[in-house]
Each structure stands twice: as structure tokens, then as C-alpha cells.
Structure 1
Amino acid sequence: VLANKQVAPFLDLVLVHVYKASADDEAVVSKGALQCAGMLGAFLDAEMVLALVSKHLGLKLEGGNSGRSGPGFDELWPQHKTGRQLTRTVQDVETAVKSFVAVSVENRRQVFSVMAHLLLPSGPNNPLACRALTQTEVRMVLRFSEEGILSDELLPWILGALQSLLHAGGQAAAAEWPRVFDLLLRMRSGEECPAALVDNNMDHLATLVGRSRRELYEEHLRRRLEDLLLGADAELWEERSPKRHVLETLLRNAGAAVSEHVPSLLPVLARQSSPEDASASARVDLLGLVHFLINEEDEALTEALRKHSSELLQGVLIPNCTWRAGQSNNKIRKGGMVCIHSLLRRHLVPASILNEAFVDLMPVLKACLDDSWSPDNRMIACLVMSCTMADLQAEINGEQLREIYPELLKRLDDSNDKIRVAVCEALACFFKCLPHNWSRTLFEYILRTLFVHLDDPNIEIQQGIYAVLESAVHQDYTTFAREAQTAALKSSHPRLCEELARLAESLRQASGEVNEKDVAMIMD
């Protein structure tokens, strides 16, 4: 009490000088200033000190006036630097100090740095030695932090203040955990603060609340996601807005709780990743988030994505896979195709929905298969084509297959052998989808092309083509045997052609099918 009475008249002046000294170029001076701040926090009433900090930050307390006016350090202690010489004007500033406001980012950093020591005089290594903050004092610090967090440049210093708050606030801070977690989430979603340090503070908060960090994420998602997504399905977030990064961090850490929010989430993802006006960085970030959600091994989330796969495929992924000029668009197209491949590989798109989307998906696949500048896009397009045909076996029709086969045959001449191997797998799926009465002329044309590539010098390609021909033999035994025998006469590997011809003949006989020679003999 005595200290409060004696120091109070001078505290405003002392604090401003401590702020200034804490940023001194001399490490001894700055360290001493922070030790002084710790002494002030240890002996003086916290609410009285925080009231002055509020004034120095230019914030309005209940029943007070907003103080966002007054001189900063540059006006109080003007200085001029010429080369290596620093000239500082020293003058009587006692009157001006009383109206000091930390307006610049540098000044506000100093205030938050000092406040961390005011709250926790003994430091984080000995938190039990400090006295506990009241609920009112905790709320004051949170108010300062919420105002300061609007500036990315202040985040590391606010994190230091929050760390002190959790140690000094204890259960009073736990009672305000949603606000504290909101601040920590903002720091965790950016690159300004070390992720491990933020996670440690989240774990500390979780311990105070009696939950795990994952449980805090899940509860926060349920409480705050609706507010975060409000209007985001219609209005594009500004590029500098932290909302996108906060959303991503929240969804990546909330686990199974995400599943119940998928219906409201997909329209927002579609709007914020729109190729028409969203930035390249926003589209990349959100496609990365979509890929993460698709590959999460959570049954509830998987079922929610399957239920809303049409909105995801048509609203988010296909628009971002459509060809647009520019290197960034090429990378985005690749990211979108990777997401579609994951979606199909995990069988999250029912065949009926995939069949409806085929008319929009096929132009995208054609463009990627013809992308001469990007082998990765051609490769992923082959994989997507394989998955599409595998999932559509029961529903795909002959006309759709007529559209597919020329694109696959062109890739057999690709300059990248890995793509040629991948397209062999796609062709094997193609033959499994063929209806029995499909065009014989086209079937013959495809077989002739495949037998030409059976002579490829690359053994892996030979084996791939041989497997494709084995899957093709079931379509029409007689036609296949005839084409194989014809190819054997011109092939550099006639043995392979003869083996396939014998396979076709044996399958024909086993099925009881009559070949053309038998028909001629019967007619005679």
C-alpha cells in the first residue's frame, strides 16, 4: 500500500521511460529496464499499472476517454542520425510524457514487452512467486491483446504478454479461455510466431481448463466457425485478411469435429478459391486444405465428404483444374488434379455423381493430357482417368469411351516413359469398361496401335502393353486372334503376338464361340 501511494504520482513518467529504455541498443540497459518493469509488477497494484498501460496504448477504458492522441517517443526525444553519429536532443519532457501514446509499431512493441514483465515479475521459470491476477485484470490484458493483434508486426510481443498472462492469471485466465485461444489461434495460423512456442502455450491453457489441446480446437470450432464463415460464401476475403489462415489452422487441428460443418464449409471454399478473382496464394492454400481433409482417416469426415462430393467436385476442384495461362495457374491445376485423384482413389464420389460430372471433367483431363510443358499434369491426368473408368464401369457408355480412347493412345507416344506405363494401366481399365457390342472397327484400330507398341525397346513398356492386350482379348476373341496373327508377321517380337493369338483362340473355344472359318465351313 505504501509503495502504491508513494510511486503512483510518478508511475506514468516511470513507465514511459522504461518503455524507451527497454529498446535501447545496449543490452545491459534494455535488460535493466525489463528488470525494473518486473519490480513495478511485483510491488504495485496490477490494476493501477494496467490502467496506465491502457492509456499508453491509446485504448478507452470503461467510463474514460479514448487516448489515441499525444506525443510518441520521436516527439519526446527527437534524434538525428548522420552516418554513424547519433544526435539525441535531451529536454524536460515531464509534462509531455503524461500525454504519451504508443502510436508507432515500435512503440507498441515496447509497451507489450514491458507488460509481459509487469504481469510476471519472476519470469516464466518461477511463476509461483508472482501474485495471481484478478478476473478484471485478465480481461484488461485480453482487451489490449485483441486490439494489438490486428497488426501482424506485434504478434510475437503479444505472445510474450499472453504467456505471462497464463502463468499469472491461472484459473482467472482459464475462465476466459475462448478469448485466449482465439488469440493463440491467430498466432498459430501465421508465420510471425514460432509454432512450437504457440503450441506450448495452448497446452498450458488446456491444462488450466482441464482438457487436451485437440479438445480445445474441437470446442472452438463448434463455437466460432459460424462467425468465421459468416458472409464468406458471397464476399471474397481480402488478401491480407488472416481469416483464411485461421480457418486452415482450425480445420487441420479439429479432427472429427469438422464433419458436421462440411455443408456450410464447401460454399465458402468454392467462393474463396474462385479462379475468377481469388489470388493464386489463396487458391493454393485452400486446395492444400481440401487435400488434407480428403485424406484424413476419419470415418465421420469421410462420410460427410462422400455425401457432399458433388459440391466439392463441381464447385471447388473442377473450376481450379480448368486451363488458364500462367505458371501459377499451372501449379494450381496440378494441385486440383491431385485432389481429384485422392477423391477418386478413396472412392468418395458415387458413380452416379461422377457420371454427371463427366461432361465437365473430360475437357479438364484432355487439357492436362495435352499439357506438353508439364509431365506432372499429364501423369496425374492418366491416374485420374484410370480411377474415373474404374469407378464408372457399370455406368459409363460407349459414347464416353469413344471420347476417351484417342487421348489415351496419344500418351503411348509420350516422351516420359513413366507416363507411358501409367497410360497402360488406364487402357487396361478402358477395356474392362467396353460394352460387348462396341464398334469392331475402332476395336481393330486400337489393337493395331497396341501391337505396334508391343515392339517397344523398353521392357517395362512391353510388359505394360502385353497386360493391356491380355485385358482386351475378352472383348472379341475372333477379331483379337486375327489381329495378333497379322501383327506376328511384322513384329520384332513375334513370340509375344503368337502367345496372345493362342490365348484368344483358347478362350474362344472355351466359350463355345464360332469363328469366321467355322461359319464359312457350315455355309458350304
Structure 2
Amino acid sequence: MSGDSAEQNGFETKDSVCKLLQRHVNCLSDESKITRKRGLIDLRKETIDRHLGGMLLQEISIEVLKPTLKCLADSSEKNRELAANLISKYISILPSPEDTLAYVIPTLAQRLGQQEITEPSEELRLLVLQEILFPCVELSGKKIAGYLDEMIQILQQLIVDPYAEVRKTSCKLAGCLARSIPEYFHMQSESLIKPLMLSITHQHSKVRIAVIEATADVIQFGNGKNVDDVISHLAQRFFDQSAQVRMTVTRMIGRWLLELPDRYSFFYKFIPLILTSFSDEMPDIRIEARRLWHEAGMLYQEENEGDLKDKLDFAQPAPSLYPKGVDRPCLGCRELVHRNLSKLTTAIIRDLSDWVQDTRVKTSQLLYELLLHAEDYITQHMQPLMQALLKACADDQSVVVQSALKCCNLIGAFVNPEIFCKFLIQAVRMHQISPQPIMIIAAVIEGCSDEVLGEKLLEILSLLVDPEVCQASEKSEYHLALISCVNGITNVCQDRVSDISLQLFTLVITVIALSNSEDVLKQCDESLLNISESLGISVQDLYVRHTREVLDSMRSSYKEWTMYSVEQRIFDSLISRAGPVVGEVLEQVMPMLEVNLNPQKDPELRLKFFTLLSKLLMDTRQTLDSKKEFSSDHAETIITKMIAPNLIWKAGRTSAAVRTIAVATLWALLRSGLVLRDVGCKLFEALLPQLKSALDDDVKSTRLTTAKVLARFLHICGDSAEVDKILHNIYMELLKRLDDASDEIRIAVTKTWKQYFKCFNAATYDQSLYRAHLEAMYGGLLVHMDDPDTNIQVSVRDVLKEGGVLSPKTLLLEITKVRNKHRTSAYCDQLIKHFEKFYLPSLLKFA
């Protein structure tokens, strides 16, 4: 109601109204709460409801408000509510509400500004805030400055009020107060920092938003030095789960960058915060952050136009390797980062080691934005930057690692290779078993170009192929980093791949040799394919191109290899994968195999080489004999120089394992068809002592394979096998094996017996001279034809059918000796029936 209403009530005067109100005022001090309530209601009816006019209400305000203010402490909540509403109405109607501050504000300070909550009702505290305190600040203008102490006292308590709505409204009131009297507010603003920071983590997002907005005003219109007290709390809000909170704090920092009086002193604190929002998950926040940052950069550019005149007049184009699809920040933004980067690197290094995952993620993303602004200014900060990137690349969160590698791409794009090579090589030498420096090299190369890298590429390659580097670790992470380097170099320097393919091939083969990871091996195959495609050849041709060179590099060391030698593993991987190329490098491979299969070498080493040799012999057409150059001499060398010495019996499990695989290798060689009859017979006779010993070995697999080897030798030699030196020299061992504990071996030996009898020439065999041998062989076999196992019985019967042709008469005589002793005469009868056709039917008769 305006003052003009007084004309309609001109007959009313202050005295007459006061007399009328006195009775109601007296009721306010009555002991009865009902009477006090009626007094408050009647006061409103006789003043506000009667529309007495603003001027008259102003005159009587002291007589009405003072007793009404006392009712704010009434024991009845309803009375306190009526009193608050009456006071609110008065303040909103009075022409000069500031005249009431002298008794309203102190009373409210007494009621709301105490350490203990004096007003128990949350709704009433909120009502007083919204309907009394807010109007007092908004309607009083600068006059509220006289009551700043009391207002601060009230806000200190209400900002941390248990009721969320009270906190939220108090924050808005604090901002309103700061904006109303900035020239006075700065003297007391510091008092609100603590309660605001206590409320900034409130569980309600709207309260947090209100706190941030209030903090923005309190700092901007208050004491700027308090930025240090709030900045860490604000930084945490950039991790807030609420997108609205993150948007609010982003806008607050943007506002400070543009409007804070002392903002130049705090740029190094604000820049990382605004840039953090560049990687927010919400597109709206990212867009807003970029807009505010651009405005801040343009303002800085305008304010420092004199200092930046040369850079503005002679603007440098974006670096040639600037990331594609990325907008380049304005000069002002870049200058802000240039001038503050040195102050940020220490904090970034620290935060990249923070125990909180989100902090590390945000920091790594922030580092990328800073480097994008810094451009070639990165050069001045390479030392601390390398520390930061090494930490980030070692993080267990892939997001952090990927951000760090993007940063490395920028180093390759912006920094001179002469500079970054120095730091990269130093980092690799200092952390030789860590994959991080290698990962950084790969990413830096990916960000660079072949032309820019120039001769430094050879320096990097020389570092990578150094055995102290490429053979330093057996961890998959390290191997993947090396493969990333190979891929990066292949992709970036395609025009030079033909000149450096040997180094790249060596790196990949080294990783294959050292890795047990399927994922790593798959990536190695992809890298070899990538290299070969760059050269316009197949992967097999790549082996043709470089296998000989890699083997040449081992000439000086292969004689000293042990089971721990990395080069031995490289040799194994190379030859295993080289396929037909092995046939082209026989003269290099054979001496290496021979030296490392010498019995003087470690048994474990010999096991590895025998395994490799076995693989090669399993498919000789695609390996050793791919060029049809594998001669009898090579076969003889393998048997006499590599296999035979390792068949000699020695105690121990490892030695037994060596004998087993040596016999298996011999079996593979004999099966390959590369051992011809003349060489085979000669070697068979020479190997016979070792084979007889192996046939009695403790290891089952050795005995079984030896039986197969004997059968194969007998097959190769055929009737060329000498009777006295070979055939009569082994049958006792074969008979003994028929007593083996393993039925599998016994069956295998019967097959050997079949091949054995095929080597005799019945036409030239002197039965009378060798009668004793025949009787021993037939008699021994007949014993086993009475075996409990039917399979053995049948197998021995078939052997005797094959061997009986040498002397049917002798066999039939031996059968007569044992026929009645066998558990069944069926098999004896079958043999008699089979062989009696060689004699007159009347010669032998059986009952």
C-alpha cells in the first residue's frame, strides 16, 4: 500500500491509531498464549487490513513492531508465525523499511544468529529468511551496511542449518548481501567462507548449487585472498555426480576469469578448472566451458593488446601437425597457458599419483588440453612433463593411459625431434624394464611425421633394437609397447620401411621369442603383415629377406648360448616360423644346432633344441628340404653329431628327458624319408649300442619310440642289413621287450619283429649254420604266444607266420615242444596248419 492511501483515511492520526492499538499491544504480553494470539491477529486487522497507508504505518511502526518482534520468541509456534507474517507485511509496505532495521535486525540476530538453534521450527526459520531478512536487504539498499555484522552473524549459522531449504535460501541471501554493499562487504566476507565450505558437500545437489553461486558472489565482491581457501573445495565439485552442479561451478570459474578484480593473481588456479570441463561427459558443459574460456582469452587479449601486438600482427599459423578436427584456441587462451604452465606442472605430477581414480582421470585429460594450448612451448617443460607422462602411462586405468598417449602425440606434433629424442632415450635408459618409456616413444612417433623425424628415426631404432632394451623384460605390457613402436614407425615412415625393415623385423621376432601371451603373438603377426604390406611383399618373403641377416648377427654368440640366452629363444622362434626359408639357410642353421646339442651343453638347452629340430623334421618339405638341398651328409650329421651323443645313458630325470626327445627326433628324421638305404645301414650299425640301451630305458616313452625307430631302421635297410652285425645282434633285446610292463610297448615290439623278419633273405640264409639263433628266436616268441592277453597272442602268431619262412621245419619242431604246455593249442595249431604245406603231410602228425 502506497502513501497515497492516507488521503482516504485522513481522519486517522498517529495518536488515535496508537490509542486504538494499545489494548492489542498489551495483549502481546499477556500470560495466555491465546490472548497473545488474539492480540497479533487484532493488530493486523487494525493496521494492515484497514489499509492505513504507508506513511501512517511508518509513523506507528515502532509502537507495533517492537512488541511484535518480542513475539518471535513466543512459546507458541503459531504466535511466532503470526508475528513473523505481521513483521513481513510491515516491511513490504513501509516507504522506508530501512528505518526499522535498527530493531528488526538485532532481534533476528538474537533469534537466528546464536550457536545453538533458538528457533526450533524449520519452517519458521525459512519464513523469517524469505519474508523478513530478504526484503530487508533488497529494500534497504546501502543502509543495510550498518548492520553487516549482525547479518554475517545470522548467515554464519543459517548457511549450516540442518534444514536444506534454509541453507539454500541463506546462500542466496549471502549473494544478495554481497552484491548490495560490495564496498563494505569485503571487510566481513571471510567470515562466511568456512560455513559455505562446510555446506558445499551437502547431500542435496540444489544446496551445493546454491553454495557455489553464493561463493562466487562472496569472493567476487568480498576479499579476493579467500580464493585460496575455496579453490580446493570447488575443484572437487568438478567431479560431482550432478551435471547441474558441474555446470554451475564451470560458470562460476568462467565468471571469475572474466570479472574477478584480482583475477590475474589467480589465473594459474582457474585455468586447470575451466579446462577440466572440456572433457566433461555432458556436451552442454563442454560447450559452455569452451565458450567461457574463449571469452576469457579474448578479454585477456584485449587487455594486453600492447604486449601481444607483434603476435597479433604477425600471427603464426597452426603447426603443420596440429591434430585434425580440433579447433585451435585463440591467442589469448594460448598466452594464458604459456604464462602459467610452469606453475601447473608440479600439481599435475602430484595429482597423477592421487589415490582417487577420478582425480587421475581428470588430471590426465587436463594435461592434454594444456599441451594443446602450449604447442611448441612444451619444449621448455619437457623434463617435468616426462615425469608426468611416465606416471600416467603406468596407471591401472586405461582412460588415464589413453589420455597420456594422446599427450605424447602432441609432443610428436609440436616438439623438435632433436629435443624429444634426448628425453625419450634418457627415459628408456633410466627405466629399462618399464614399458612406459617405450609406450611414450610409440605415441610420440605416431604424432610426428617421417619428414620431421628425419635422421632421428635411426637413432630411435638403434635404441629399440639394442638387446638391453628389446630384451629387457618378459612382461606382456613391455612387449605390446615395443610392437606399438614398430606399428607407429611402419605407419608414419612408410617411405623408409625398406631401409629399416631389418630392425623392425628383428624387434618383432624378439617379442615373439620372449612372449607367452596369445594377444601379444597375435599383434606380432599383424605387425609382420603390416611391414610386409608396406614393402609390397608377403610375410613369407619378409622371412626370406631377413632370416639370413638375423642369423648372421648370432654368429659370434651362438657357441656360448645357455638355456637363459635370449638369442637362443630368438633363434628358436625365427626358425620355427621361417618355414621354407630354413632350406635356404641350412649352412648357417646346422652348425648352430650341432653346437647347442653337444652333451656338454645344459640339458635344458638341448631339450629346447631337440624340440625345434623335431618340429623341422616333422615337415621337411616345408623346412629343411624345401630347396631339395638336404643331403645324406646332413642326415648323417644330425644322427652322429646331434642325436647319438645324447642317447648315451646318464643318471637323472633331465638326462632321461633328453634321451626321450633325442629318440623322438631320430624317429622324425627316419620318417621324413631323407635317410637313404646305404647311409641308413651304416648309421644303424653305429647306433645299435645306444638303441639297445634306449630299448631298456626306464622311461616308457623312450622304450616305445626306440621300438619304432628300430622298425624304421629295419624298413630302410631291408635285406641290406647284415645278419651277424645287425640282425643277430638285436633279437635278444627285442625278445626282452616282449616282457615289458606296458602292453603298448609289447604290441609295438611285435611290429618291430615283423619288420625284423622281412630283412632276412630266406634263399641265402644258412639255416644249419644259424640253427641256434633260429631256435632262440622261435622259442622266445612261442613263449609270448601263450600270453594271457589275446592281442599279444595274435600279434606274436602273426610275427611267427612272417618269420617262420626262414625255417618252417625248425619252427614246427619248436612248436611240438611247447604245444601241450600252452593254455590253448589253437594258435599252435594255426601255425602248424600254415607251415605244414612245406613238408609231406606224413612227416608230422599230431593227435
Q: CA deviation at 1:178?
A: 1.2
Q: CA deviation at 1:365?
A: 1.6
Alignment deviations for residues 430-465 of structure 1 (CA, whole Å, 9 cap, x no partner) = 222235115111201221222222222212111101
Q: CA deviation at 1:10?
A: 3.0
Q: Which runs of 5+ in 2 are unaligned?
A: 1-315, 320-373
Q: CA deviation at 1:24?
A: 4.8
Question: Who is 1:143 aligned against?
Answer: 462
Q: CA deviation at 1:132?
A: 4.2
- Check if 1:152 corresponds to 2:481: no
Q: CA deviation at 1:203?
A: 0.7
Alignment deviations for residues 354-385 of structure 1 (CA, whole Å, 9 cap, x no partner) = 333234422222222222x3211111111111
Q: How does 1:184-263 map to 2 (within 5 A)?
A: 184-191=508-515, 194-230=520-556, 232=558, 235-263=559-587
- Whether the 8 Å contact between 1:37 and 1:118 is mirrored in structure 2 is yes
| Separation (CA, whole Å) in 2 of partners of 1:503 and 1:217 | 60
- Check if 1:477 corresponds to 2:808: yes
- Whether the 8 Å contact between 2:786 and 2:793 is mirrored in structure 1 is yes
Change over 3 Å in CA distance of 1:214–1:120 after alignment to 2: same
| Separation (CA, whole Å) in 2 of partners of 1:421 and 1:29 | 64
Farther-moved stretch of structure 1 (258-267 vs 470-479): 258-267
Q: CA deviation at 1:142?
A: 0.8
Q: CA deviation at 1:475?
A: 0.4
- Whether the 8 Å contact between 1:478 and 1:516 is mirrored in structure 2 is no
Question: Who is 1:99 aligned against?
Answer: none
- Check if 1:356 corresponds to 2:682: yes
| Separation (CA, whole Å) in 2 of partners of 1:380 and 1:155 | 39
Superposition TM-score, scaled by structure 1 size: 0.80
- Check if 1:9 corresponds to 2:380: yes
Residue type at the aligned position of 1:437: D
Name the SS for the 1:228 alignment partner: coil
- Check if 1:292 corresponds to 2:619: no
| Separation (CA, whole Å) in 2 of partners of 1:501 and 1:24 | 83
| Separation (CA, whole Å) in 1 of partners of 2:787 and 2:711 | 22
Change over 3 Å in CA distance of 1:370–1:391 after alignment to 2: same
| Separation (CA, whole Å) in 1 of partners of 2:608 and 2:718 | 34
Q: How many residues align?
A: 456
| Separation (CA, whole Å) in 1 of partners of 2:808 and 2:516 | 67
Farther-moved stretch of structure 1 (19-28 vs 31-40): 19-28
Change over 3 Å in CA distance of 1:139–1:442 after alignment to 2: same
| Separation (CA, whole Å) in 2 of partners of 1:300 and 1:21 | 46
Residue type at the aligned position of 2:642: V
| Separation (CA, whole Å) in 2 of partners of 1:422 and 1:327 | 24
| Residue in structure 1 matching 2:715, options 369, 386, 390 | 390
Residue type at the aligned position of 1:270: E
Change over 3 Å in CA distance of 1:460–1:40 after alignment to 2: same
| Separation (CA, whole Å) in 1 of partners of 2:393 and 2:668 | 53
- Whether the 8 Å contact between 2:431 and 2:437 is mirrored in structure 1 is no
| Separation (CA, whole Å) in 1 of partners of 2:754 and 2:715 | 10
Alignment deviations for residues 258-301 of structure 1 (CA, whole Å, 9 cap, x no partner) = 1232244222211112122x222211111111111111151783
Q: How does 1:42-121 map to 2 (within 5 A)?
A: 42-57=413-428, 102-105=429-432, 109-121=435-447
- Check if 1:179 corresponds to 2:508: no
| Residue in structure 2 matching 1:273, options 588, 594, 597 | 597
Query: Could you say which structure has the greater relative contact order, defined with CA pairs below 8 angstroms and 6 or more residues apart?
Result: 1
Change over 3 Å in CA distance of 1:418–1:5 after alignment to 2: closer
- Check if 1:457 corresponds to 2:788: yes
Alignment deviations for residues 465-509 of structure 1 (CA, whole Å, 9 cap, x no partner) = 111110112101222222233333333332321232232221356
- Check if 1:163 corresponds to 2:492: no
Q: Which runs of 5+ in 1 are unaligned?
A: 58-101, 122-129, 518-524
Residue type at the aligned position of 1:329: S
Farther-moved stretch of structure 1 (381-390 vs 447-456): 447-456
| Separation (CA, whole Å) in 2 of partners of 1:498 and 1:37 | 88
Structure with a larger share of its residues in helix: 2
| Separation (CA, whole Å) in 1 of partners of 2:450 and 2:421 | 14
Question: Who is 2:746 aligned against?
Answer: 420
Change over 3 Å in CA distance of 1:441–1:376 after alignment to 2: same
Alignment deviations for residues 315-344 of structure 1 (CA, whole Å, 9 cap, x no partner) = 111112221111111111111101111212
How many percent of aligned residue pairs carry the same amino acid? 23
Q: CA deviation at 1:54?
A: 3.2
Residue type at the aligned position of 2:472: S
Q: How does 1:305-454 map to 2 (within 5 A)?
A: 305-307=630-632, 308-371=634-697, 373-399=698-724, 400-435=726-761, 436-437=765-766, 439-454=770-785
Q: CA deviation at 1:231?
A: 6.1
Residue type at the aligned position of 2:514: G
| Separation (CA, whole Å) in 1 of partners of 2:755 and 2:562 | 45
| Separation (CA, whole Å) in 2 of partners of 1:144 and 1:299 | 35
| Separation (CA, whole Å) in 1 of partners of 2:398 and 2:810 | 88
Question: Who is 2:412 aligned against?
Answer: 41
Question: Who is 2:828 aligned against?
Answer: 497
Superposition TM-score, scaled by structure 2 size: 0.51
| Separation (CA, whole Å) in 2 of partners of 1:213 and 1:260 | 16
Change over 3 Å in CA distance of 1:431–1:13 after alignment to 2: same
Name the SS for the 1:385 alignment partner: helix
Max Rg structure: 2
| Separation (CA, whole Å) in 1 of partners of 2:454 and 2:380 | 26
Q: CA deviation at 1:199?
A: 1.0
Q: CA deviation at 1:150?
A: 4.1
| Separation (CA, whole Å) in 2 of partners of 1:104 and 1:301 | 41
Change over 3 Å in CA distance of 1:266–1:7 after alignment to 2: closer
Q: CA deviation at 1:175?
A: 3.0
Change over 3 Å in CA distance of 1:237–1:382 after alignment to 2: same
- Whether the 8 Å contact between 1:166 and 1:204 is mirrored in structure 2 is yes
| Separation (CA, whole Å) in 2 of partners of 1:472 and 1:29 | 78
- Whether the 8 Å contact between 2:785 and 2:796 is mirrored in structure 1 is yes
- Whether the 8 Å contact between 1:306 and 1:350 is mirrored in structure 2 is no
| Residue in structure 1 matching 2:819, options 484, 488, 506 | 488
- Whether the 8 Å contact between 2:617 and 2:669 is mirrored in structure 1 is yes
| Separation (CA, whole Å) in 1 of partners of 2:623 and 2:562 | 32
| Separation (CA, whole Å) in 1 of partners of 2:623 and 2:377 | 63
| Separation (CA, whole Å) in 2 of partners of 1:341 and 1:5 | 66
- Whether the 8 Å contact between 2:465 and 2:506 is mirrored in structure 1 is no
Residue type at the aligned position of 2:430: V
Alignment deviations for residues 228-261 of structure 1 (CA, whole Å, 9 cap, x no partner) = 23463xx331443222122222222222221232
Change over 3 Å in CA distance of 1:444–1:114 after alignment to 2: same
- Whether the 8 Å contact between 2:719 and 2:758 is mirrored in structure 1 is no
Change over 3 Å in CA distance of 1:33–1:393 after alignment to 2: closer
